[in-house]
Amino acid sequence: MPNKNLTRRLLTAALAALLLAGLAGLSGCALLGKKEISSLSDHSYGGKSYRATGNAGAVCRTASAQKGTYYKYGGATPQTGFDCSGLLYWSFRQNGVNVPRTAKQQSTAGRRVDRSALVPGDILVFKIKSGYHTALYLGDNRFVHSPRTGAKVREENLAQAYWKNAYVGARRII
């Protein structure tokens, strides 16, 4: 018969961990729904700062933390590496938001957003030679993505000629 005290301690520890994780994810707004979370996160890129709210800020931080991870076609974890859509898929899922897995599917997910109305956490969609490419908008014309074989997850500027010309739209999930 298993030790009842050990079982009780393990269950108590697991419950406490789940409770703390849930509270941390709500950022102090336990009575509000996901769309109403108003906690703000400050971020700085290229000497300028922006503010992302709630889950969008968490998704931006999660994706940005993967800078330096190698590109891997079909990859969707830090251990395997990421392709473009895998980085977004994993980053959103780490924050409790489901998005489609492929760039083509991501290009129609959520709702369409005008370029002039981009906010951190929006999915950027590009049409490149090999098909669709997706990235996560960070604010101030910056985005994070997993670009191609042999490259690492990195930030780029949407104003660069290549990305400016390849841009075909954006989608808002959260």
Q: Return the active site residues.
A: 84, 133, 145
C-alpha distance from residue 46 to each of 23, 41, 52 (Å): 32, 17, 16
Pick the closest to residue 34 from 63, 65, 59, 64 (CA basis): 59
SS (H, E, C) 128-155: ECCEEEEEEEEECCEEEECCCCCCECEE
Q: How far apart are CA 52 and CA 59, in angstroms?
A: 10
Which run of H or E residues covers position 9? helix 4-26
Pick the closest to residue 54 from 28, 31, 91 (CA basis): 28
Pick the closest to residue 41 from 142, 155, 145, 138 (CA basis): 138
Q: Which residues pair with 43 in a beta bridge?
A: 50
